[in-house]
């Protein structure tokens, strides 16, 4: 029996590199799913398991049952993933502002972008805050500038001062929702806020961040040469600067599934490197002496690698660009050492590099979607390589490749896109088929040509030509987005759905026979589970000022304005296309609305004079949802959910179960992690939650 199992597992040894990132990623995912850090003893045990499992697995590989070492190696990879993620979390630890701050903020500009409200947003380092001890000051802060008449034209490296409101990064707006605190923790952002007054420059950007200043200068030059949204698009794909993109254009690109053309990611890096590689190889091959004496593929790969590294530096080295460079870099190095470039092994090595260096990217949309698309494309084109070569005429092969690549990439990323963004672009395939070839054949080559002509002062020639294919892409985006039913909205899945989708898809690609069938079953099971997803019957925002209750038309909100991020997230997670005012119109109620849920009567008391109405509300409701400043005392036997309670629990979700309610708190779902700042033992049961049926 042992021999049979060993022999069957041994067949996978040649594909061991393909499973390494899967095991490492499973450990990283497990780390982010933990409710609290393991502690010194726990980490020692995990590290010991990783070391012993990897060592034992290698030793078993030399015994009479070598295949039995593979499960042991898998366990070691999972434990190693836990260690890698924990070490990374400790390494990036930095102060997080534990209180609300209003006053002078001084710092150096390192990133310039735009907020969701379209305000200019600055990320600052070398921060100084008035009357705050240096060891309490965050390494980085992010400030949105809402001044009506700004006097600042920010440039990376410039030192500025501004009067701003700051607080620590905000947590989820509902239990289990997106946790911005975690993303900010790994990016070193310890405070976020906004300014209503203009920011003032303190020092010119001399001797610091030269690449950022170069990027800003190139972005300005591109937009000067190409007017309007086309220029903003060109600046985004050349330097990563999206600050000039209009909200309507961004929405059209998202609705047509063309927003990925803006992000400097695998597509852009692949197109750039592929164009440079092909051009250099063709040029050298046309010189008989060089083509006969050298391997022009290796020279072209080296030049393309340098071009890719330059593009990485120019674009600011964002997570998506770094991921893209790692993938194309592995493939180019494979050419340099005489191996096939486009293989699953190259994709696996790129994933390993990224997971080891930045394990937090595993839980980000960019990593999930880019590797899903790349893995599926390499697997499908590898399987169809011979069929395509024998059966298709030459003229049809490019058309087939474009349509198939768009279809495969779209299908591979669709579950992740739908789960993360709660929308599906129904005509995205059409938009990509008519836009991606234009991007690859015209836009990116002209961008390279503009870079080559820039030292001669002739980049304007290429940029003028570049404008028209970009205008075509934007026209396609607007036209497709304007079609009836262009966008579908999807309910957020349960926490286990995406891991099931990922593992099921990987099993279908990496395994054979019954393993592939099992992967298909896992995918179907994930979709079946997703179809049963349910949303809370009531959601209470972090301040208590916004309440969303399920009704016959969908989520009804108590406010048409204010707390817009929470309102938008609640509606999107339900797959609801309504905006906040429309959702507020569903609640036909005046002041102090009353809700009946699971046999419990709840009333919201908010607005002017709320404190005077609490006593009357207690006489007609079981629980008061009070969003005004916390009172020193409440009427006897009055159960009140106020800001003081919500500061402990975070936003609440109420589920009707039978004849009662189940209350889920964000604090309990988030646990005690380095980025949460909430201890489980600080969230003790309180009478109001017990009155609602306890909490989880």
Mean pLDDT over 169-193 rounds to: 93
569 has which bridge partners?
A: none
Is-contact 23 356, C-beta < 8 A? no
Q: DSSP letter for 442, please.
A: I
pLDDT tens, residue by residue, 349-370: 888 998 999 999 999 888 888 8
Of 540, 662, 574, the C-alpha closest to 172 is: 540
Per residue in 582-598, pLDDT (tens digit) is: 998 888 766 788 888 88
Pick the range with the lowest mean pLDDT from 41-55, 81-95, 126-140, 195-209: 195-209
Q: Which two tokens stand for residue 634?
A: 């409440």
- Residue 693 pLDDT > 60, yes or no? no
Judge contact between 165 and 101, C-beta under 8 A. yes
Q: What is the pLDDT of residue 208?
A: 53
The alpha carbons of the chain give a radius of gyration, in whole angstroms, of 28
Per-residue pLDDT band at 382 (split at 50, 70, 90): confident
Q: Beta strands of 521-679 (E only): which ranges?
A: 538-540, 547-551, 554-557, 594-597, 600-605, 623-626, 639-641, 652-657, 660-665
pLDDT value of residue 571: 92
pLDDT band at residue 599, thresholds of 50, 70 and 90? confident
Q: Residue 686 — pLDDT band, cuts 50, 70, 90?
A: very low
Arithmetic mean of pLDDT over the chain: 83
Alpha-carbon distances of 279 from 265, 297, 304, 511, rounded to whole Å: 21, 11, 10, 37
Q: Would you place residue 389 in the very low, low, confident or very high pLDDT band (cuts 50, 70, 90)?
A: low
Burial of 271: CB neighbours in 10 Å, binned 0-12, 13-18, 19+:
buried
Helix ranges restricted to H, 592-634: 610-618
Q: Where are the beta strands (DSSP E) in 134-184?
A: 140-145, 159-167
Give per-residue pLDDT as tens, 195-247: 998 888 887 776 556 677 777 778 888 888 888 899 888 888 888 777 778 88
Which of these, 632, 355, 669, lies nearest to 640 by C-alpha position?
A: 632
Q: Does residue 260 register a pLDDT over 90?
A: no
17-21, 618-622, 669-673: which range is least confident on average? 618-622
Average pLDDT on 543-561 reads: 89
Assess contact for 197 and 675: CB atoms under 8 A: no
Tokens of 169: 């990064």
Cβ proximity of 219 and 264 under 8 Å: no
Q: Which residues contact 156 (CB under 8 A, 6 or more apart)?
A: 109, 110, 111, 112, 205, 209, 212, 213, 215, 216
Residue closest to 151 by CA, chosen among 160, 138, 139, 143: 160
pLDDT at 282: 84
What is the pTM for the complete model shown?
Answer: 0.86
Lowest mean pLDDT among 125-139, 380-394, 605-619: 380-394
Q: What DSSP line would sit under 31-81, residue for residue?
A: HHH-SB--HHHHHHHHHHHHHHHHHHHHHHTTSS-GGGHHHHHHHHHHHHH
Whether 64 shows a pLDDT value over 80: the answer reads no
Both tokens of 544, joined, read: 């208590």
- The strand ranges marked E within 293-429 are 423-425
Q: Which of 414-418, 476-480, 484-488, 606-610 has the lowest mean pLDDT?
A: 606-610
pLDDT score at 207: 55
User: How many Cβ atoms are within 10 Å of 134's Cβ, its own excluded?
Assistant: 9
Question: What is the arithmetic mean of pLDDT over 59-80?
Answer: 78
211 and 317 in contact (C-beta within 8 Å)? no
225 touches 464 (CB < 8 A): yes
Task: Decide: residue 546, CB within 10 A, 0-12 exposed, 13-18 middle, 19+ buried.
Answer: buried
DSSP-based three-state secondary structure for 515: helix
As a whole number, mean pLDDT of residues 133-159 equals: 84
Q: 491 Cβ partners below 8 Å, 6+ apart?
A: 422, 530, 533, 535, 573, 574, 575
Task: Give the pLDDT confidence score for residue 5 in this predicted structure.
Answer: 54
In angstroms, the first-to-last Cα distance of the chain is: 45
- pLDDT for residue 685: 44
Provide the angle, in degrees to the nearest 10, between the axes of the packed helices 514-531 and 497-510. 160
Query: Residue 572 in contact with residue 554, Cβ under 8 Å?
Result: no
pLDDT value of position 690:
55
Degrees to nearest 5, angle at CA 390 with 385 and 391: 105
Alpha helices (runs of H) in 422-544, residue ranges in sequence order: 428-438, 444-453, 459-481, 497-510, 514-531
What is the per-residue pLDDT across 1-53, written as a single tens digit (0 to 9) for each?
Answer: 555 555 565 566 667 788 899 999 999 999 999 999 998 999 999 999 999 98
Q: What is the pLDDT of residues 390-414, one digit of tens each?
A: 566 666 666 777 777 778 888 888 8
User: Which pair of tokens denotes residue 688?
Assistant: 């109001």
Which pLDDT does position 154 carry in this prediction?
82
Residue showing tokens 């593009």: 311
Percent of the chain residues topping a pLDDT of 70: 88
* Nearby residues of 322 by Cβ (< 8 Å), 6 or more positions away: 312, 354, 358
Instruction: Fill in the DSSP letter of residue 695.
Output: B
Res 312: pLDDT? 80
> Given this model, what pLDDT does residue 679 score?
46
Residues constituting the chain: 696
Q: Looking at the predicted structure, is the pLDDT value of residue 680 above 90?
A: no
Nearest to 559 by CA among 601, 536, 591, 597: 591
Packing angle of the helix pair 296-314, 319-336 (nearest 10 deg): 170
For residues 423 and 114, which has the higher predicted lDDT (pLDDT)? 423
Percent of the chain scoring above 90 in pLDDT? 27
């Amino acid at each position: 029996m042992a021999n049979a199992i060993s022999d069957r597992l041994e067949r996978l040894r040649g594909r061991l590199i393909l499973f390494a990132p899967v095991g490492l990623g499973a450990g990283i995912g497990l780390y982010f799913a933990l409710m609290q850090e393991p502690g010194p003893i726990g980490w020692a045990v995990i590290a010991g398991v990783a070391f012993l499992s990897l060592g034992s697995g290698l030793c078993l590989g030399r015994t009479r049952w070598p295949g039995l070492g593979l499960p042991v190696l898998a366990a070691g990879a999972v434990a190693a993933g836990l260690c890698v993620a924990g070490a990374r979390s400790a390494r990036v630890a930095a102060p997080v502002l534990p209180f609300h701050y209003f006053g002078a903020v001084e710092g150096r500009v390192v990133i310039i972008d735009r907020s969701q409200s379209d305000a200019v947003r600055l990320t600052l380092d070398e921060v100084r805050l008035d009357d705050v001890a240096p060891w309490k000051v965050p390494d980085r802060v992010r400030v949105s500038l809402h001044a009506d008449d700004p006097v600042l034209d920010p440039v990376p490296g410039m030192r500025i001062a501004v009067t701003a409101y700051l607080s620590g990064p905000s947590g989820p707006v509902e239990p289990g929702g997106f946790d911005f605190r975690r993303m900010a923790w790994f990016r070193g952002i310890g405070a976020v806020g906004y300014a209503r007054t203009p920011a003032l420059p303190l020092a010119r950007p001399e001797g610091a961040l030269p690449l950022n200043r170069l990027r800003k200068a190139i972005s300005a030059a591109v937009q000067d040469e190409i007017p309007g949204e086309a220029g903003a698009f060109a600046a985004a794909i050349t330097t990563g600067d999206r600050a000039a993109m209009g909200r309507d254009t961004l929405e059209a690109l998202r609705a047509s599934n063309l927003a990925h053309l803006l992000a400097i990611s695998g597509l852009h890096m692949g197109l750039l490197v592929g164009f440079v590689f092909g051009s250099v190889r063709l040029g050298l091959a046309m010189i008989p002496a060089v083509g006969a004496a050298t391997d022009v593929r290796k020279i072209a790969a080296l030049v393309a690698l340098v071009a890719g590294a330059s593009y990485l530096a120019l674009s600011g080295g964002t997570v998506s660009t770094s991921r893209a460079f790692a993938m194309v870099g592995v493939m180019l190095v494979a050419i340099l050492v005489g191996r096939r470039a486009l293989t699953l092994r190259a994709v696996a090595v790129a994933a390993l590099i990224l997971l080891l260096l930045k394990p937090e990217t595993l839980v980000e949309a960019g990593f999930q979607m880019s590797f899903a698309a790349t893995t599926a494309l390499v697997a499908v084109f590898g399987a169809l390589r011979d069929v395509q070569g024998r059966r298709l005429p030459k003229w049809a092969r490019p058309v087939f490749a474009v349509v198939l690549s768009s279809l495969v990439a779209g299908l591979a990323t669709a579950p992740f896109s739908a789960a993360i963004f709660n929308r599906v672009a129904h005509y995205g395939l059409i938009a990509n088929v008519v836009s991606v070839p234009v991007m690859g054949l015209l836009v990116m080559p002209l961008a390279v040509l503009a870079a080559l002509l820039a030292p001669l002062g002739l980049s304007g020639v290429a940029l003028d030509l570049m404008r028209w294919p970009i205008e075509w892409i934007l026209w396609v985006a607007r036209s497709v987005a304007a079609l009836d039913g262009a966008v579908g909205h999807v309910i957020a899945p349960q926490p286990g759905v995406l891991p099931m989708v990922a593992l099921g898809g990987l099993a279908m690609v990496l395994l054979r026979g019954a393993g592939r069938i099992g992967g298909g079953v896992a995918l179907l099971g994930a979709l079946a589970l997703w179809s049963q997803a349910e949303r809370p019957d009531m959601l209470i925002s972090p301040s208590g000022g916004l309440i969303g209750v399920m009704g016959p038309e969908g989520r009804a909100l108590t406010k048409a304005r204010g707390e817009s991020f929470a309102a938008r997230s609640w509606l999107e997670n339900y797959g609801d296309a309504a905006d906040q005012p429309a959702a507020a119109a569903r609640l036909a109620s005046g002041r102090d609305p009353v809700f009946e849920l699971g046999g419990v009567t709840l009333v919201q008391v908010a607005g002017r004079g709320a404190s005077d109405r609490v006593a009357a509300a207690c006489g007609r409701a079981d629980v008061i949802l009070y969003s005004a400043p916390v009172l020193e005392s409440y009427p006897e036997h009055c159960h009140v959910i106020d800001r003081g309670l919500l500061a402990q629990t975070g936003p609440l979700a109420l589920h009707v179960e039978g004849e009662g309610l189940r209350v889920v708190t964000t604090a309990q779902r988030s646990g005690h992690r380095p980025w949460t700042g909430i201890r489980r033992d600080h969230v003790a049961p309180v009478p109001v939650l017990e009155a609602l049926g306890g909490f989880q």
